[in-house]
Amino acid sequence: MTDATLPQATVPHDGTDAEARPIFREDRKVLGISTETWPGILAPLGIGILALSAWEFIVWWRAIPPFILPGPLLIAKTLAADWTTLSASLWITLRITAAALIAAVTLGVGLAILFTQSKWLEKSLFPYAVILQVTPVVSIAPLIIIWVGDINLSLLICAWIVAFFPILSNTILGLNSADHNLRNLFELYGASRWQTLRYLRLPAALPYFLGGLKISGGLALIGAVVAEFVAGSGGNASGLAYRILEAGYQLKIPRMFAALIMISASGIAIFLAISWVSHMLLRRWHESALKREN
Amino acid sequence: MSDAIPDGTPVAAGGRPLVAIRNVSKQFANGTIAVRDVNLDLAAGEFVSLLGPSGCGKSTLLRMIAGLGDPSVGTIDWMGSAHDAWGKPARELGFVFQDPTLMPWATALDNVVLPLKLAGTNRGEAAARGAEMLSLVGLKGFETSYPRELSGGMKMRVSIARALVTHPQILLMDEPFAALDEITRHKLNDDLLRLWEANRFTAVFVTHSVFESVYLSQRIVVMAARPGRVMADLRVGAPYPRDDMFRTSADYAHWCRIASETLKEAISA
């Protein structure tokens, strides 16, 4: 290495192999974001702008009527004009999504811990978790709505059913993936079940859990939207899916697109938020969050 | 350690052993006999190597001494330790695996203090003892480093520090340096001897290297495979401290030849 900007490592020359410690380079930053991250932001952004321009151009050139395909500019205008109604609905959908995700995390992690403490419990209950997972939520949503009665609770249950399984299955995998010799070590030092769980199995499961959470975040939103479609309830307290149905009936297609964009944007925001949390939790130690230098 | 031991002479003969292994055999569920009919005494403060080819049951024997898996036949008595109401000995031991076996999510210091944390030692005292241990293995200043930021040799040092932080009576090591390059291995051998001479724990060192076992040990237990059994119990008469001078001496070559021949006989027998 001849690069003069690299900081010198300060390690003791004490006869140990301490000098073999890797040196970490500080990233250069523009607007608070590392120069290496910028291409990853600019490239998809450029593609997006290109695609939107092409869309707008085609709609204008072929004079496509808005009730067939509205252009991006019209959608943006509609989004701004209907913001009050749409944002109220977005808030309702997001509340159900968040509640379902919290329930999925609590029950998923809780059950995963129970399952790894007792093989019998896992053997008897896990097949039912699988059944819950493979049953299409669209087909059981009407039943749930009839049985539960309360519409918000029904929606919550539907979204939860969809979001729950990836967390359960990933966390079980993670709890069981603790290094074999580390488990031996804990046994040697007479660690209690609780200590083994707290200091070994839960930290080992963290990357797996976060992987499951990334999937479940999007699924919770999809589950909430699908259940709203099935429920189709009107009134003021309706989620975005109902706004889409309503706009469809009234042929207000730009408004339909606006609602669709809000759902997509929410999904992306949830994914980015969970990815960020995941990166912050794992960046010091997990392979997935490390930059390869070679 | 209470007993002072003259260099090169094991304390055992006649005295009460720290660990007594009697007629121990181990058969795995698949029918393999990993260890057959082993009798061995480990004296307080001695440095013993278990030397043999792979598959000779040396690691299995080491794990049974640690209490990871019971013998199928025979007993392993911890004579020098207190026993609980169920007759289970309070094994005061440290164990070093072939891999460093560190928790990747914890800093070097947190890894070292793990045994203290599990025993319920209070945080401040644990941290102080952990930091002291890290500096004893030459890793002062690396307390907050994560395992991935350390080289292979440094990770192994952390592993040794963790094994010694409870000041155990016995340090059990399962081919700890086998995966390291020779230069690092020599350094770690020297540091291990230095730690042993300063603290005089009983060291049981599993290896397949004749040279490593001669350099380190007072006593070499030679084992053969299929089934794993003890073939010879060799005393290395060379005095301590042993250093680079010893590594190139005629004395070292002499003991290496004897150990080599014993091992060859054991394998062909």
Q: Do B118 and A11 touch (CB under 8 A)?
A: no
Are residues A253 and A67 in contact, defined by beta-carbon separation less than 8 angstroms? yes
Question: Are B138 and B185 in a shared domain?
Answer: no
Query: Does residue B25 belong to any structural domain of this protein?
Result: yes
Contact A24, B145 (CB under 8 A): no
| This prediction's pTM | 0.83
**Measured distance between the N- and C-terminal CA atoms of chain A, rounded to whole angstroms:** 13
- Is residue B36 one of the residues assigned to a domain? yes
Q: Are B198 and B216 spatial neighbours (Cβ–Cβ below 8 Å)? A: no
Q: What is the mean pLDDT of residues B96-110?
A: 94
Q: Is residue B57 part of a domain?
A: yes
Q: What is the pLDDT of residues B18-50, one digit of tens each?
A: 888 988 989 888 888 888 899 999 998 999 999
Query: What gap in Å lies between CA B9 and CA B236, rounded to an integer?
Result: 9
Residue B11 lies in a domain: no
Does any domain span residue B160? yes
CB B137, CB B187: distance < 8 Å: no
Tell me the average pLDDT across A157-177.
93
The range of the structural domain enclosing residue B72 comes to 16-92+171-202+215-269
* Whether B39 and B130 share a structural domain: no
Q: Verify that B151 and B197 share a domain, yes or no.
A: no
Q: Across-strand partners of B48?
A: B204, B219
B105 to chain A nearest CA, in Å? 5
The Cα B219–Cα B49 span in angstroms is 6
Q: What is the pLDDT of residues B210-251, one digit of tens each?
A: 999 999 999 999 998 888 889 889 898 888 888 888 888 899
Residue in A21, A188, A199 nearest the CB of B95: A188
State the total domains in chain B. 2
Q: What one-letter code names the amino acid at A183? A: R
Residues of A whose CB is below 8 A from B141: 11-12, 18
Contact B189, B243 (CB under 8 A): no
Claim to verify: residue B193 and residue B263 sit in the same structural domain: yes
Which of the following CATH numbers is that of domain A74-289: 1.10.3720.10, 3.50.50.60, 3.90.110.10, 3.90.190.20?
A: 1.10.3720.10
Is the pLDDT at A260 greater than 80, yes or no?
yes
Report CB contact under 8 Å: B145, A186. no
Same domain membership, residue B156 and residue B86: no
Largest CA distance in chain A: 80
Enter the tokens of residue B180: 């390291």
At B41 the three-state DSSP class reads strand
Residues B56 and B179 in one domain: yes
What residue ranges do the domains of chain A occupy?
74-289
Q: Is the pLDDT of residue B204 over 60?
A: yes
- Contact residues on chain A for B68, CB-CB shorter than 8 A: 184, 187-188
Read off the pLDDT of each residue in A5-19 and give the average, rounded to a whole number.
50
Distance CA B18, CA B65 (A): 11
Say which of A11, A16, A284 has its CB closest to residue B146: A284
Q: Rounded to an integer, what is the distance from CA A106 to the centroid of its chain?
A: 16
Cβ-based contacts of B195 with chain A (< 8 Å) = none
CB atoms B115 and A184 under 8 Å: no
Three-class secondary structure of residue B100 per DSSP: coil
pLDDT at A8: 47
Per the model's pLDDT, the better-predicted residue between B253 and A285 turns out to be B253
Token reading at B38: 């082993």
Shared-domain flag, residues B70 and B116:
no
**Is B118 part of the contact surface with chain A (CB cutoff 8 Å)?**
yes
Please provide the DSSP assignment of A210-239 as one string: HHHHHHHHHHHHHHHHHHHHHH---SSS--
**Residue whose tokens read 């204008």:** A60
Contact A59, A207 (CB under 8 A): no
The pLDDT of residue A105 is above 90: yes
Query: With 0-12 CB in 10 A as exposed, 13-18 as middle and 19+ as buried, what is A190?
Result: middle
Nearest CA to CA, how far is A116 from chain B (Å)? 20
Identify the CATH number of the domain in which residue B60 sits.
3.40.50.300
Query: Are residues B32 and B57 both part of a single domain?
Result: yes
Q: Within a domain: residue B9?
A: no
How does pLDDT run across A54-90, given as a tens digit for each residue? 999 999 999 999 888 999 999 999 999 999 999 999 9
**Cα–Cα dist A190/B163, whole Å:** 14
Nearest CA to A195 out of A186, A204, A203 is that of A186
Q: Find the helix or strand (DSSP H, E) in which B77 lies.
A: strand B73-78
pLDDT at B112: 96
Residues B226 and B136 grouped into a single domain: no
Q: Is this prediction's ipTM beyond 0.85? A: yes
What confidence category does residue B85 fall into, taking pLDDT thresholds of 50, 70 and 90?
low
Q: Is B149 on the interface with A (CB under 8 A)?
A: yes
Cβ partners under 8 Å of residue B148, min gap 6: A285, A290, B104
Residue B28 lies in a domain: yes
- What does the pLDDT read at residue B10? 42
Check if B269 contacts A (Cβ < 8 Å).
no
Give me Rg for the CA atoms of chain B: 18
Per-residue pLDDT, B239:
84
Mean pLDDT of B195-199: 91
Of the CA atoms within 13 Å of residue B162, those in its CB half-sphere come to: 32
Cβ of residue B240 closer than 8 Å to a chain A Cβ: no
A210-220 confidence digits (pLDDT tens): 999 999 999 99
- Please check the confidence at residue A16 and state whether its pLDDT lies above 90: no
Give yes or no: residues B196 and B266 share one domain: yes
